[in-house]
Chain A
Amino acid sequence: MRPFARIKLEKREDVGLFGRLFAILVALLAAMLVSAVLIKFTDASPTEAFTNLIKGAFGNRRAILETLVKSTPLILTGLATVIAFRGKIWSIGQEGQFFLGAIGGYWAYRAFEGLPALALVPIIVVAGFLTGAIGGMVAGFLKAYFNVDEIISTVMGNYIIDYFLSFLLSGVGPWREPGSYYQQTATISENAHYPLLFDNSRLHMGFLIALTGSLVVYLILNHTPFGYQLRAFGSNPRAAKFKGININKIFIVTMLISGGLAGLAGTGELFGVQYRLRPDLSPGYGYTGIIVAMLAGLNPIGVLPAGILFGALINGSAQMRIATGVPTALTYAIQAIVLLFLLSAQVLSRYRIRRIEHAG
C-alpha cells in the first residue's frame, strides 16, 4: 500500500500541432542558448551578434529578398528529404545530387549554348532535374535489387560526385576555365541565367520553382495513389509488403523525385546566383535540407517557413561576422544543435505528465 499518488509519464498517441510547435520552440530557444555560449568564446557579445544576425537577415527589403535567395536551395533539398524520409528511405544524398543538378545543367548549357534564353533556360532546368534524379535512382535501384543500405550508398555517392566534379574542374578536366588558377568554369553567358524576379535583388526564378515544388510534393504525397503507398510503406513497411505494394518501385520512384528536387537546387544556385560552377557552389545545402525537413515535421508545406528560417540564419551570419567577428561557421553548429534539441523535444512532447492513483 502506497500512500501517495504516483506521477507517471504516459505516451500520447497523437502529438498534435500544438505539441509539435512547442517542440520546435523549445529546440530553437535551447539552440539559441547554446549558441550564446559559443559566441561568448569569441569574446563577442551574444546580444550584439544576434541583433546583427537578425538585421542581416530581415533588416530591409534587400536583406529579406537575399534571405529568400539563400532559402531557395534549402527549400528544394528540404523537399527532397521530406519525400524520401516520409517513406523511411534515409537518403543523405541531397548534397551530391545538388552538384549533379549543377553538373547536368552546365552540360546542357554547353550543349545548347547558342539557343535563346526562352528555350535554353527550360532545357537547363529539365537537365538539372534529370541528372539529380538519375543520381537518386541509382541509390533506389541499389537498395531495391542489391539490398545496399541507402544511407551508405548516398554518402559514398556524395564523395564520388565530389571527386568527379573536382576532376571536371581540374587542369586535365574538360570544364576548367582556360588559364584560370582556380577550380572553376568560365562565367555562364546571360542567355542561360534564370530570370530575376525583382530589381536590385538576386532573387531568381528558382524561388518560384521551390514554391511549386512544395505544392507538387504536397499533392504527390496526399492526392496520388503513389503518395498513399509511400506513406503506407513509411508508417509500416511490413504491412505494406503484405498489401502487395511494389516496394522496389517505391524505392526507385521516391529516390528519383528526391534526387530531381535536390538537383534543381543545384541548377538554381548555378544559373540563378553564382553563374560559375565551382566546388564550393554549396556550403552544405544538402545537409541543411535534412534539418529543414525535420524542423518542418516532414511536411512539404512546412518546409517553406523552415527553409526561410535557415536561409535567414545563413544570410544573417554574414553581417554578424562583419560586425562582431563571430565566424559564420557558427551557423553550421547552430543547425546541428537545433536538430539535436528538436529530436529530444519531440520525444518529450510525445509524453504527458499524469498523476495516477495507485491501485494495489
Chain B
Amino acid sequence: MLGSLLQAAIIVNILASTIRIATPLLLGAMGELVSERSGVMNLGIEGTMLMSSYVAFLVDFQTNSIILAILAAMLTGAIMSLIMAFMASTLKVDQTVTGLALNLLASGISLFWYRVAFKGTSTESIPTIQTMGTVKLPLLGDLPYLGEIFFSQGLLTYLAFLMVPVIAFVLYRTHTGLAIRSLGENPRAVDMKGINVTRLQYMSVIFGGVMSGLAGSFITIGTTVRFLPEISAGRGWLALVIVIAGNWRAGRILLATLLFAFLDAFQLQLQGIGIQFPFQILLAAPYILAVVVLMSSRARSQAPKHLGMPYMREEG
C-alpha cells in the first residue's frame, strides 16, 4: 500500500519536473523555429539564454522585482539577436561563425559582469535572489495528479506551452506567417511581392531572441537562487537539436521537447533516490540522446530550403 503510493508520488514528481524542465527548451526551440523559418539559423541562442539568465539574475538581485527581471531578460534577448540579424541579414556574414561569436561573447561578458558587479563575494556569501514561485490554477490545479503535474507551475511555463499553438497559428494561418515561411523557402519571391525582406527577417530573428531571453530568465529566476558561469549548460544547443528533431513543425517540436525534458527529469529523480550509478553518465544522457535523435531523424523534409543562406538581391 505504502509502496504503490510512493511510486505514484514519484511518477507525479517526475512528470511535474518534466513540464518544468521543458520550459526553457520549449521557449528557445519555438523562438528558433520562427527565426529559422525566416531563413536565419541562429546558433547564438545558447549565448542569448546565458546572457539573459545573467541579466535576469542581476535585475532581480538589484530590484527584487521578478517582472523587471523578465523584461530585462527579454530586452537582452532582443539585443543579442539584433546583432545576429544585423550580421546575417544586413552584412550577410556567415551565420555559423556569427552564432559562435555570440556564444563566446555571452560567456565572456556574463562572467566579466558578474565578477565586476559582485566583487568581493566569496564562496560563503554567494549572492542569492528570490525565485518566481508557482501558480496553482483554480479548479484545474485541484485535479488529482494532473493538477500537480500540469497546473501548479510557474507563469513562464504556462506561457511556454501557450506559445506553441500561438506560434503555429501565426506561422500557418496568417499573412505574416506565410511571408515568414516563404522567406526561408524563396526570399526572392517574397522580395518580388514588395515585402521588405530585411525588415521581416529582423523581426523574426528578434522574436526568436526575445523567446530565448524568456528561456534564459527561467533558468535563473525560475529555478535557482544563484548564478553560475555557463549556467545555461547547453539548453540553447538542445533547443537547436529539438528544432531539427521536430522537423521544423510546432507539434513535433513540442513532442521532442517533452522527450528531452523527461529524460532529464528521470535522471534527476534517480540522483535523488541515490541509486549507485555514476551520475555524470546520467547528466550526459540528454546530449547522447541528441546525437542519437539526429542520427535517426534523417528526414529533413520540412527544413527551410534557404536556411542559413543570405539573400543577395541582384542589383540592376
Contacts and interface: CB of A to CB of B under 8 A. Distances in A.
Interface in B100-146: 100-102, 104-105, 107-109, 111-112, 114-116
B12 to A, nearest CB: 28
A190 to B, nearest CB: 31
Given A327-B112, A330-B112, A332-B108, A339 B294 contact: no
Contacts of B93: 343-344, 346-347
A92 B240 CA distance: 15
B309 to A, nearest CB: 13
Interface string B211-242: 00000000000000000000001100100110
Given A294-B97, A336-B101, A336-B104, A343 B91 contact: yes
A146 B295 contact: yes
B288 interface: yes
Main secondary structure of the interface of A (DSSP, over half): helix
B280 A329 contact: no
B290 A152 contact: yes
Contacts of A294: 97
A149 interface: yes
B87 interface: yes
Given A41-B116, A153-B291, A332 B87 contact: no
A343 B105 CA distance: 14
Contact of B104 (A41, A170, A291, A327): A291
A286 B244 CA distance: 25
Contacts of B97: 290, 294, 339, 343
B290 A156 contact: yes
Nearest to A291: B104
B47 to A, nearest CB: 9
Nearest to A8: B315
Contacts of B108: 329-336
B98 interface: yes
B284 interface: yes
B104 A164 contact: no
Interface string B289-305: 01100110010100000
A318 to B, nearest CB: 14
B302 to A, nearest CB: 15
A164 B43 contact: no
A147 B241 CA distance: 13
B6 interface: no
A198 to B, nearest CB: 32
Given A92-B100, A333-B112, A344-B87, A170 B105 contact: no
Interface string A127-148: 0000000000000001000111
Contacts of A170: 278, 280
Nearest to B282: A163
B283 interface: yes
Interface string A328-354: 011111111101100110110000000
Interface size class of B (residues with CB under 8 A): 35 or more
B188 interface: no
Given A327-B112, A333-B109, A290 B100 contact: yes
B237 to A, nearest CB: 5
Residue of B87, B233, B294 most packed against chain A (CB within 10 A) = B294
Interface residues of A, number: 46
A340 B241 CA distance: 25
A167 interface: yes
A148 to B, nearest CB: 4
B246 to A, nearest CB: 14
B112 A151 contact: no
A333 B102 CA distance: 10
A173 interface: yes
Interface in A66-103: 90, 92
Contacts of B283: 163
Residue of B93, B107, B280, B294 most packed against chain A (CB within 10 A) = B280
A10 to B, nearest CB: 9
A155 interface: yes
B115 A329 contact: yes
B281 interface: yes
A290 B107 CA distance: 15
A172 B244 contact: no
A167 B109 contact: no
Interface string B72-111: 0000000000010001000111101110111011011101
Contacts of B61: none
Given A159-B284, A344-B91, A149 B244 contact: yes
B95 to A, nearest CB: 10
A92 B244 CA distance: 18
Contacts of B114: 329
Given A149-B294, A159-B237, 19 more contacts: A42-B116, A92-B100, A142-B291, A146-B294, A148-B295, A149-B244, A152-B241, A156-B241, A163-B284, A287-B104, A287-B107, A290-B97, A332-B111, A333-B112, A336-B104, A343-B91, A343-B101, A346-B93, A347-B91
29 contacts: A38-B112, A142-B294, A146-B298, A147-B298, A148-B295, A149-B244, A149-B294, A152-B241, A152-B291, A152-B294, A153-B291, A156-B290, A157-B287, A159-B233, A160-B287, A163-B280, A164-B284, A167-B278, A170-B278, A287-B100, A332-B108, A332-B111, A333-B105, A336-B102, A336-B107, A340-B83, A340-B101, A344-B93, A347-B92
Interface of B: 43, 83, 87, 91-94, 96-98, 100-102, 104-105, 107-109, 111-112, 114-116, 233-234, 237, 240-241, 244, 278, 280-281, 283-284, 287-288, 290-291, 294-295, 298, 300
